[in-house]
Amino acid sequence: MTDYLSSIDSISAIMNELESQDLTCLEPRQLPEVQEATLRAISAPEDFPPLAAAIVPGDEVAIALDGNLPDAERVLASVIGELKEAGAGEITVIVGNELAESDLAQLRDRLSPDVQVLQHHTRQRSAFRYLGPDVHGNPVYLNRWLVDADLVIPIVTRRVDASASGQRSDLTGVFPTFADADARRRHHLLKNQPATDQQQETVDLDDDPEAMTGTAEEPAWLLGVQLIVMVTPNRQGRIAEVFCGSIEAARKTALASTDTELCDFALATIEGESSQQTWLNVARAAEAATYHTKPGGTIVIWSDLCEPSETATSSNSINNEEGSVEESADEEEFAAWDETPVPFERLNTVSEDYQLILRSRLQATSVEKSGLGCLETIDELQRLAMALPRRGMMRAAQFHAK
């Protein structure tokens, strides 16, 4: 990882020499003390009482954790410590299935043994509760540990606001992350439709900023979510800021995309720990770069990816503190949906209008199987960038897209 970070420093210097546009909306600053900053945020949330005041002794608390959160252990440590001090009962951390099993095991090892850490799965009906219909009239089932809890606290990554492009998603991270396979499939198919074919939200948030009916956050609101912890990443994939507040207050803090001229060449880097180096983040980085690149232009994703496309799978079992519980063939299940191809479908969509090239630790043949071009050295990158007139660079690009 040290060599990879050095390579990013080198290509940043090259892009600066080539007078490239800065496409990054993330700040360079890094919180020196993440746990202390988290404690300050949850002790004085925006538009909400302190977290400790929301706890009745003995309350069961569920934390809905974004699987793509930077420095998750340190943020969790402060939140869990405050909950225990306030007298909370059982505390369960539910993690989205984007987190790899090795990272999940590491998370369990670093948290207190009396905190249950479960990974969400999408098929067993017994692991869900019916919440109600969504804005399209489809049934919404959510993870039962979230529905059954007395208090639900989402801890999510703050991302760039894409509402102007018709892609606004649930900023609480609850839906469809912790929904069933059917709902996740419907959501994916809907997002792949042209914007004109999508059912639009029924509420004008400018007219009623506190409205929830018909918004992306409606499932979270029906669940009873009132308080959100949001982590803002910096340009190196670390933490720049920790926010805590109501859904309405969180809406007002969305990161705005940079206003730049469209580039002929865009370099998008993936930064952070090894858990950030995934095919899904490659797809996110590519999508983020399209907002700043001319159709037909070249997008290079600079990553340290080592996960072959053949094994890029999400865990679809439900885990507890003692290990993994396999799904029972005798139990009623939601229809299976293999989400493995999703990142590659998103990349193929981008490839229809742009030349996509990936730098990774994979063999060129493995990258080319995914339909992407392959680039290996800084010299190759420099020659490619110099051949195109208008250039731009986006740091930590995976946090610039949903």
> In this structure, what CATH number is given to the domain that contains residue 234?
3.40.50.11440
pLDDT tens for 248-301 read: 999 888 777 778 899 999 999 999 988 999 999 999 999 999 999 999 999 999
Other C-beta atoms closer than 10 Å to the C-beta of 366 total 17
The answer on pLDDT for 214 being more than 70 is no
pTM (two decimals): 0.88
Instruction: Judge residue 278's burial from the number of C-beta atoms within 10 Å of its C-beta, 0-12 exposed, 13-18 middle, 19 or more buried.
Output: buried
Mark whether 295 and 369 lie in a shared domain. Answer: yes
In a domain, 335, yes or no: no
pLDDT tens for 120-161 read: 988 888 899 998 887 678 888 999 999 999 999 999 999 886
Q: Do the beta carbons of residue 295 and residue 55 sit within 8 Å?
A: no
pLDDT tens for 40-84 read: 999 999 999 999 999 999 999 999 999 999 999 999 999 999 999
pLDDT > 70: percent of the chain: 86
Alpha carbon distance 255, 41 (integer Å):
18
Residue that is written with structure tokens 């912790």 in the block: 178
Alpha carbon distance 109, 103 (integer Å):
10
Mark whether 155 and 276 lie in a shared domain. Answer: no
Choose the final residue of a domain: 209, 230, 255. 255
Number of domains forming the structure of the chain: 2
Alpha carbon distance 75, 231 (integer Å):
9
The pLDDT score that the predictor gives to residue 310 is 67
The answer on pLDDT for 220 being more than 50 is yes
pLDDT tens for 87-119 read: 999 999 999 988 888 899 999 999 989 999 999
In a domain, 327, yes or no: no
Mark whether 235 and 301 lie in a shared domain. Answer: no
Alpha carbon distance 215, 204 (integer Å):
9
Q: What range does the domain containing 244 cover?
A: 26-255
The pLDDT score that the predictor gives to residue 328 is 46
**Please, what is the average pLDDT of the chain?**
86
CA distances from 141 to 133, 176, 224, 289 (A): 9, 10, 14, 34
The pLDDT score that the predictor gives to residue 330 is 46
Q: Do the beta carbons of residue 359 and residue 300 sit within 8 Å?
A: yes
Choose the final residue of a domain: 255, 270, 302. 255
Mark whether 170 and 293 lie in a shared domain. Answer: no
Residue that is written with structure tokens 């990258």 in the block: 367
Mark whether 307 and 361 lie in a shared domain. Answer: yes
In a domain, 5, yes or no: yes
The pLDDT score that the predictor gives to residue 191 is 67
In a domain, 332, yes or no: no
* Residue length of the chain: 402
Q: Do the beta carbons of residue 393 and residue 19 sit within 8 Å?
A: no
Mark whether 132 and 244 lie in a shared domain. Answer: yes
What value does the mean pLDDT take over residues 16-20?
A: 96
Mark whether 225 and 288 lie in a shared domain. Answer: no
What's 263's domain CATH number?
3.90.226.30
In a domain, 333, yes or no: no
Mark whether 87 and 12 lie in a shared domain. Answer: no
